[in-house]
Structure 1
Amino acid sequence: MRKMYKMAFGMLVVGSSILVGTLWNFQVSGVSTTPGTADDPVVTKSYVDQQIQKALGGGGTTTPTNPTTPTSPTTPTQPSQGSDEVKNVALKPGKILIADAGAEFIVRSGNAVIYTEDSNGVADLTDGKDLLNGQAAPKNHLLSFPREGRGIQVKEGQKNGLIVMVRGGYTIK
């Protein structure tokens, strides 16, 4: 009998706690109730981007970048200006795209092979391995060139050129 009283008392306590909890409506102080008010404003992505640019010293205006078309430098022996801008470069058969130290390439179309004058290679950051002279450069892989004098060229026998995304300085020989 005592067991039944204990069980009934427990059910009464739990049931009354649930009833009191649902009927007792209170609000936590310090929490805004309505998003979009002055206390809790809703902002857009463009506003956040603008504020980030201001904080970084970029002025606050962001302009969308226009997609670049594949181009080739007008003077092949003159090195390009190194920057963080990504450029699409068209490389014709027989030409070699030589990277400046720290440049990064991504082969977008065509078949490319690695070109180096020494025994060291180029870092394939996508697969995490070293590509040596004459090895195929995989498409859509990020290639890092730690030193000058290394690059890529069109695979021998291919009639079409390459389209390569380049970040950093480069020279076409």
Structure 2
Amino acid sequence: MKKFCKSPRKMVLLTAIFICAVIAFQIVYAAVIEPGSEGDPLVTKSYIEEVMMPKIKQEILEAVKGSSGSPEQPLKFEVVSVQKGQKLIGGAGTELILRMGKATVIATQKGGLADTTQGVDLPNGVPMPANHLLIIPVDDGRGFSANEDVLVMVKGTYRLE
């Protein structure tokens, strides 16, 4: 019997052809496999890009369409002038910053205004600190009374009395 590959040159050539065939098969196999299927079970970049991202985008679009399009509260602080003797009563989540003047906190039996700058709860009748971020946690009549003309920054719902 004759040997199939007598020369080393033929052996190298056959090995190279075999390696190229294996690589070509892997490329074709990878292109045909659907991301996330049993043939491609790992969470791969292709799965994230081709399957998950379209689902996430669709959910975001549905959530945006489902919203009314206008927020309940303004997204920016607005400067409000409150005259001496007037009261500003805020809604739940309203944020206040006293910028000028003197005012007194109006609290209820459920609590006062949350002073996030100092980390305390301001009870009824205490002076409202200037330049502190205050939050009205519940819509139950909390706010402040102006001892003199004041300027306050407000983000959220409120009414003047």
TM superposition score category, shorter chain reference: 0.5 to 0.7
Q: Tell me, yes or no, if structure 1 residue 126 matches structure 2 residue 117.
A: yes
| Cα pair 1:84 1:167 within 8 Å, conserved | yes
Which of these residues, 139, 142, 152, is aligned with residue 130 of structure 2? 139
- Distance in 2 between the 1:100 and 1:117 partners? 13
Query: Shift of the alpha carbon at 1:117?
Result: 3.4
**Residue 117 in structure 1 maps to residue 111 in structure 2:** no
The structure with more helix, counted as a fraction of residues = 2
User: In 1, Cα distance between the equivalents of 2:110 and 2:157?
Assistant: 22
Quote how far apart the aligned CAs of 1:82 are. 2.3
Amino acid aligned to 1:126: T
Does the 8 A contact of 1:119 with 1:133 survive in 2? no
Matches within 5 A, 1:65-76: none
Aligned residue among 91, 99, 112 for 2:90: 99
Q: Distance in 1 between matches of 2:117 and 2:108?
A: 23
What SS class does the counterpart of residue 79 from structure 2 fall into?
strand
Structure 2 match to 1:87:
78
Q: 2: CA distance between counterparts of 1:84 and 1:154?
A: 25
Structure 1 residue 152 corresponds to structure 2 residue 157: no
Q: Which residue of 1 aligns with 2:51?
A: none
Alignment gaps of 5+ in structure 2: 1-71
1:77-126 deviation digits (Å, cap 9, x = unpaired): xxxx6211210000011110000100000000001110123251110000
CA distances 1:30-55 after superposition (whole Å, capped 9, x unpaired): xxxxxxxxxxxxxxxxxxxxxxxxxx
Instruction: Quote the residue 1:49 is aligned against.
Output: none
Paired residue secondary structure (1:137): coil
Deviations 1:47-82 (A, max 9, x none): xxxxxxxxxxxxxxxxxxxxxxxxxxxxxxxxxx62
Which residue of structure 1 aligns with residue 158 of structure 2?
170
| Letter in structure 2 aligned against 1:150 | R
Q: Distance in 1 between matches of 2:82 and 2:144?
A: 9
Long gaps (5+) in structure 1: 1-80
TM normalised by structure 2 equals 0.53
Paired residue secondary structure (1:126): coil
Distance 1:105 1:120 in 2: 16
Which residue is 1:52 aligned to?
Answer: none
Where do 1:10-21 residues align within 5 Å?
none
The residue identity in structure 2 corresponding to 1:92 is Q
Give SS of 1:120's match: coil
C-alpha RMSD of the superposition: 1.3
Aligned residue pairs total 89
> What is the rounded CA distance, in whole Å, between the counterparts of 2:120 and 2:108 in structure 1?
19
Identical columns (%): 38
